Amino acid sequence: MLSAASGSLQERDEEQEDEGEEELRDGGVPFYVNRGGLPVDEETWERMWRQVARIHPNGEALGRDIRRATDLPKIPIPSVPTYQPTTTVPQRLEAIQKYIRELQYPLTELMDIAKEMTREALPIKCLEAVILGIYLTNNMPGVERFPLSFQSYFSGNQFHHIVLGVHSGGRFGALGISRREDLMFKPLELRTLMDLVQDFEGAYRGYWHTLRKVRIGQYVSHNPHSVEQIEWKHSVLDVEKLSKEELRKELERHTRDMRLKIGKPLPPSPTKDRRNSMGSPLKGPASPMRRISRAERRPSGEKRGLEQKSSADINGYQIRV
């Protein structure tokens, strides 16, 4: 009896689903929303094929031919860059940037011609590109890395973007990803941190964006097993309120702070509570802000001390490329 009742309920659900799909076919919403993310799950694929069969003149035959095909082009998977011992630092950074770029958004267009969604080499966004850049430069001790993020304003909306700043041989550059060519990779050619920030600011102006704030982190450890957390915003500079000279002084001060961190001993292993709070700057509750003494206050706004801070302080940080 229970079996009959459950069977009846299932049939009713299927009828309701069919009615809903019939409504879509008769002029309702012409597409389905994939709520499961990537890779696409089997249930979503089946629903997509059913939709093809309904809306395409030869939908069933077309879907059957595609699903049975064995000669569909393979999705290209970029190779992780490798180097010769004689490869220079700028050449290595260019190779890393090329690899990051090959993982960007256009890969999604290739999914349309594939038999199944690839489970490797999925498209990445700017924050993921920063983490990837850190990982790929961990074995380059002569290259210091630091997060560099921007808050811009355009047409009543705020936008956030982040890249990985790099410093080597007395020159600054950046690695990253963006839909805009001049908002990601910067060759290792800029003499100061001010030059790097101004380069990005000029790029934003070219897209009619007003750069409001620049957040600069500390150097990231090269030890992949380090218990240090990434310090995402050691300095927060209000570009709109600072004069050019004030901005230059703040960036010079931050550069000195970063140099002081080189050779600093690692902090002790975190406690269980602190370890649980580690993670992406997009997750976790905000930790209480430390009271800033008068001597530490800067006209640029927030300024972190050299003490280790939780990366959760960057709560609310929305990444938009």
Active site residues: 126, 161, 178
77 contacts: CB under 8 Å, gap ≥ 6: 118, 120, 121
Reference 234, options 108, 115, 135, 146; nearest CA is 146
Task: Locate 111 and state its tokens.
Answer: 């999914």
